[in-house]
Chains A and B, each alone.
Chain A
Amino acid sequence: SQQGEEDPQALSIQEGENATMNCSYKTSINNLQWYRQNSGRGLVHLILIRSNEREKHSGRLRVTLDTSKKSSSLLITASRAADTASYFCATEGSARQLTFGSGTQLTVLP
Chain B
Amino acid sequence: DAGVTQSPTHLIKTRGQQVTLRCSPKSGHDTVSWYQQALGQGPQFIFQYYEEEERQRGNFPDRFSGHQFPNYSSELNVNALLLGDSALYLCASSLIAGELFFGEGSRLTVL
Does any Cβ of A come within 8 Å of B25's Cβ? no
A40-B107, A43-B90 are contacts. A98–B41 as well, Cβ < 8 Å? no
* Distance between A92 CB and nearest chain B CB, rounded to angstroms: 9
Does any Cβ of A come within 8 Å of B1's Cβ? no
Does any Cβ of A come within 8 Å of B73's Cβ? no
Residues B99 and A98 in contact, CB atoms below 8 Å apart: no
Does any Cβ of B come within 8 Å of A1's Cβ? yes
The segment out of B13-21, B42-50, B64-72, B74-82 that lies at the interface is: B42-50
Interface size class of A (residues with CB under 8 A): 20 to 34
Does any Cβ of A come within 8 Å of B88's Cβ? yes
Residues A42 and B90 in contact, CB atoms below 8 Å apart: yes
Q: Which residues of A sit under 8 angstroms from B40, Cβ to Cβ? A: 102
Q: Which residues of B sit under 8 angstroms from A42, Cβ to Cβ? A: 4, 90, 102-105
Q: Which residues of A sit under 8 angstroms from B33, Cβ to Cβ? A: 97-98
Does any Cβ of A come within 8 Å of B96's Cβ? yes
Residues B104 and A1 in contact, CB atoms below 8 Å apart: no
- Which residues of B line the A interface, CB within 8 A? 4, 33, 35, 40-45, 48, 55-56, 58-59, 88, 90, 92, 96-97, 99-105, 107
